[in-house]
């Protein structure tokens, strides 16, 4: 591991200033992905600004809005009663991710900013990685890909955004609160937070160096909505998604009055399925139509021999979760 200076800033302003002033500096929060990447030599900051003692931990519920401090751990958010009562898909996504030990460490801010799990990206002995070094190529496209994305990708990069909780957060239009140099504050809708690999393989998100996510604003579902998260994976627990679906519905009898859908395990960014939502809003429960909505979502997929299975899997995952949510809501 490359040597680094370790600092503990007194407040957010100091933390932001410390990182902004040094192009080689990085924030340190839960560290679960970061330390791993640093051991592997994929990420080589020369200064770590440890933000874990800043007052950015905790959950505040006010009416329809839940503000989640960026340092709130995955376990803490999963235990929040408002999440269980009014945003069950977020709890399900959290508990389907990682292990309890990792969920006790990993923060919500860090979860959103986690790097891709692409094994070529994570191996510095692999030269071809457009995400790590622009214009070097993509070893995943040239070799074997499986745990990779099929949406928002092209031949330059097939990196997957592997977060579970980001999927339902995108579905409800959550926003990141960001602090920047000079006391600047801005809100970024999560649907605009990440940059698709096919729009810039080496750029992962819209934050500038030194900007810090301080909280995530999450709209809670109004009364009458039902939501759930379905994760399909190679083993039953402690595994990344091959495909996942976050679905929230408001039923009016047999009619889908409103619906929100996002897919995980398939996109270079957590994938909001707006076209599917439009196709299903105002329609009756109909598995054939659900499948059509799934097909429309993956219509522009870029697949490799190793990832082609994800097209049908995504359709099946979404169809199954839509059925579960719309029929449960009726009973």
Partner 1 sequence: MKTTRTTARAPSAQDQYVVDILTVVNGVPQQWRVDTRTTLLEALRDTAGLTGTKRGCDQGACGACTVHVDGNRVLSCLMLAAQADGRTVTTVEGLAGELGLHPLQEAFLRHDAFQCGFCTPGQLMSAACLLREPGRTRSDADIREYMSGNLCRCGAYDNIVAAIRDVAAQQAEDGA
Q: Please give the distance of CA 208 from its chain centroid, rounded to a whole number.
A: 19
Site for partner 1 contains 309 (CB under 8 A): no
- For the chain, helix (H) and strand (E) counts, in that order, are 12, 12
Per-residue contact string for residues 101-120; x = within reach of partner 1 by CB under 8 A: xx-xx---------------
How many residues at the interface with partner 1, by CB under 8 A?
29
Of 76 and 319, the one with the shorter C-beta distance to partner 1 is: 76
CB of 16 to partner 1, least distance (A): 20
Q: Which stretch binds partner 1 (CB under 8 A): 97-105, 188-196, 202-210, 223-231?
A: 97-105
- One of 63, 125, 183, 288 touching partner 1 (CB under 8 A): 125
Which residues within the stretch 159-218 sit at the binding site for partner 1 (CB under 8 A)?
none
Contacts of range 98-102, beta carbons closer than 8 Å, 24 or more positions apart: 98/32, 98/74, 98/238, 99/238, 100/75, 102/32, 102/74
Tokens of 312: 């049908």
> Is 283 one of the binding residues for partner 1 (CB under 8 A)?
no
Q: Of the two residues 8 and 289, which places its CB atom closer to partner 1 in the complex? A: 8
| In the block, residue with structure tokens 């510095």 | 124
Reading the block at residue 263, the tokens are 């897919």
Confirm or reject binding of residue 238 to partner 1 (CB under 8 A): yes
Binding partner 1 (rule: CB under 8 A), the pick from 10, 62, 63, 237 is 237
Going residue by residue from 14 to 53, which x/- string records binding to partner 1, judged by CB under 8 A?
--------------x--xx--xx--xxx------x-x-x-
Q: Binding to partner 1 by residue 98, rule CB under 8 A?
A: yes
CB of 101 to partner 1, least distance (A): 5
- Nearest alpha carbon to residue 71 among 101, 106, 47, 98: 106
Residue 210 three-state SS: coil
Q: Rounded CA gap, 318 and 192, in Å? A: 23
Contact call for residues 157 and 120 (beta carbons, < 8 A): no
- Least distance from C-beta 153 to partner 1, angstroms? 26
Query: Which residues neighbour 184 within 8 Å (Cβ) at sequence distance 6 or greater?
Result: none
Q: Mark the segment that binds partner 1 (CB under 8 A) among 159-167, 198-206, 230-238, 313-321.
A: 230-238
Spatial CB neighbours of 83, under 8 Å, sequence gap ≥ 6: 66, 77, 90, 91
Residue 81 is a binding residue for partner 1 (CB under 8 A): no
Burial class for 194, CB neighbours closer than 10 Å (0-12, 13-18, 19+): buried
- 253 sits near partner 1 (criterion: CB under 8 A): no
Query: What is the binding site for partner 1 (CB under 8 A)?
Result: 1-6, 28, 31-32, 35-36, 39-41, 48, 50, 52, 75, 98-102, 104-105, 125, 236-238
């Amino acid at each position: 591991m490359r040597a680094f200076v370790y600092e503990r800033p007194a407040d957010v302003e100091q933390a932001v200033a410390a990182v902004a002033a040094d192009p080689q500096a990085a924030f340190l929060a839960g560290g679960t992905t970061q330390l791993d990447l640093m051991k592997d030599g994929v990420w080589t900051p020369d200064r770590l600004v440890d933000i874990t003692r800043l007052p950015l931990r905790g959950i505040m519920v006010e009416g329809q809005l839940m503000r989640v401090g960026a340092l709130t751990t995955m376990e803490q958010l999963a235990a929040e009663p408002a999440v269980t009562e009014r945003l069950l898909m977020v709890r399900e996504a959290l508990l389907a991710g990682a292990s309890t030990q990792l969920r006790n460490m990993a923060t919500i801010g860090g979860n959103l900013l986690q790097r891709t799990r692409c094994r070529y990206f994570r191996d510095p002995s692999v030269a071809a990685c457009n995400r790590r070094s622009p214009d070097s190529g993509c070893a995943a496209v040239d070799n074997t890909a499986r745990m990779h994305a099929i949406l928002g990708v092209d031949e330059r990069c097939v990196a997957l955004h592997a977060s579970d909780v980001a999927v339902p957060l995108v579905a409800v239009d959550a926003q990141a609160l960001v602090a920047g140099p000079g006391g600047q504050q801005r809100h970024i809708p999560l649907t605009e937070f990440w940059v698709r690999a096919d729009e810039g393989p080496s750029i992962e998100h819209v934050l500038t160096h030194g900007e810090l996510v301080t909280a995530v604003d999450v709209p809670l579902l109004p009364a009458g909505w039902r939501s759930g998260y379905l994760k399909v994976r190679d083993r039953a627990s402690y595994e990344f998604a091959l495909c996942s679906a976050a679905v929230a519905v408001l039923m009016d009898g047999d009619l889908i009055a409103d619906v929100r859908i996002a897919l995980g395990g398939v996109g270079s960014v957590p994938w909001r399925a707006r076209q599917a939502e439009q196709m299903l809003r105002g329609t009756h429960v109909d598995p054939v139509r659900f499948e059509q909505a799934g097909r429309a979502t993956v219509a522009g997929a870029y697949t490799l021999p190793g990832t082609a299975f994800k097209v049908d899997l995504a359709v099946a995952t979404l169809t199954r979760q839509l059925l579960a949510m719309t029929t449960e809501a009726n009973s």
